[in-house]
Structure 1
Amino acid sequence: MLAARVAELGLTAKPEWVLSVGDDVAAGFASLMGSHISHCVVRGSLPDLGAQRVLPGKHFLMIEDFVDVSKPVKFHQLATSVSDPFGDDTDDALIGQA
């Protein structure tokens, strides 16, 4: 389930991550909680990773720990709303490719 959910975004979940959480979507996202990436993936979007391939600002999480980035990945711009707790990071969410 987790691998399939991540695949919907055009990404390939790393087998070791899937094994560590039992391919359970809730457990997989729980392992990412507190990071911007979990919020973005749940919403079906990802922020721009930047030149160092880490999330910008205070969200220093290596995406390579979770997904295969060996192929180009298209990212979607985040929509900001009052209910978006990460709205202050929207400027970091750019359209681009890894």
Structure 2
Amino acid sequence: MDSYKHKKVITIGIVNELTGLSERQIRYYEECGLIFPKRSKLGTRHYSFTDIETLIQIADKREEGVQTNEIKRDFNNKKKRSDIRDEMLRGQINSHFNRRR
């Protein structure tokens, strides 16, 4: 079951209130590929608490003068490192349990 933090149920107006970002800024960060809201059949965007945390990180980095393309590169690098770490962990677990059989 998905954690409540990952459920995409929050509308853009609420995200605006929680983050202080304008709806235009939020949509721009979506266009940049920094966040990925779910769309309803009518096209309404829905965000998760994880998306809100990401938007706050983006806003903090922008205040520090970091450009959006640098933020995206940093996020992609973190994801790659996380994927590699997950793959290594899976390999270690599989190796450990396969040896014991």
Flag whether TM exceeds 0.5 (same fold): no
TM-score by length of 2: 0.29
The structure with the larger Rg is: 2
Determine which structure has the larger helix proportion and give its number. Answer: 2
TM-score by length of 1: 0.29
